[in-house]
Amino acid sequence: QVQLVESGGGLVQAGGSLRLSCAASGSIFSIDVMGWYRQAPGNERELVAHITSGDSTNYADAVKGRFTISRDNAKNTVYLQMNYLNPADTAVYYCHAIIVRVGAPNKYQYWGQGTQVTVSS
């Protein structure tokens, strides 16, 4: 079994910062892409940012220049530093990872349970 556990969400005023963390645990052989998605009420889930095992990154246009994704491969953990938050960033943020399990040759995608980020104006 593999689990993704997120932390770091909360309530912040516009202009403020938050840092999300997501730790993967379980029978992990390797982790390919790790990333963050978000879903606001009434909207579809959308990509925020992702980072490959080689540290290549990709960001949604709405967060470029404000958010930074990073990972610690030794800890199987991905981070999302969010600066200059605004009310449009309010959403449930989900961690996502593509993982190869020990003893299983295929890649599988996993999701965290989600963490709420609320930005007040």
Going by pLDDT thresholds of 50, 70 and 90, the confidence category of residue 7 is: very high
- pLDDT the model gives residue 105: 85
Going by pLDDT thresholds of 50, 70 and 90, the confidence category of residue 17 is: very high
The end-to-end CA distance of the chain, in Å, is 41
The alpha carbon of 22 is separated from its chain's Cα centroid by a whole number of angstroms, namely: 7
Which is it for strands 28-39 and 46-51: parallel, antiparallel or unpaired?
antiparallel
Going by pLDDT thresholds of 50, 70 and 90, the confidence category of residue 81 is: very high
The predicted model gives 24-42 an average pLDDT of: 96
The predicted model gives 31-41 an average pLDDT of: 97
The 3-class secondary structure across 7-41, one letter per residue, is: ECCEEEECCCCEEEEEEEEECEEEEEEEEEEEECC
Answer whether 58's CB lies under 8 Å from 37's CB.
no
* Mean pLDDT of all residues belonging to the chain: 97
- pLDDT the model gives residue 3: 97
Residue 7's nearest CA partner among 99, 93, 96, 111 is 93
The predicted model gives 23-38 an average pLDDT of: 97
The predicted model gives 106-113 an average pLDDT of: 96
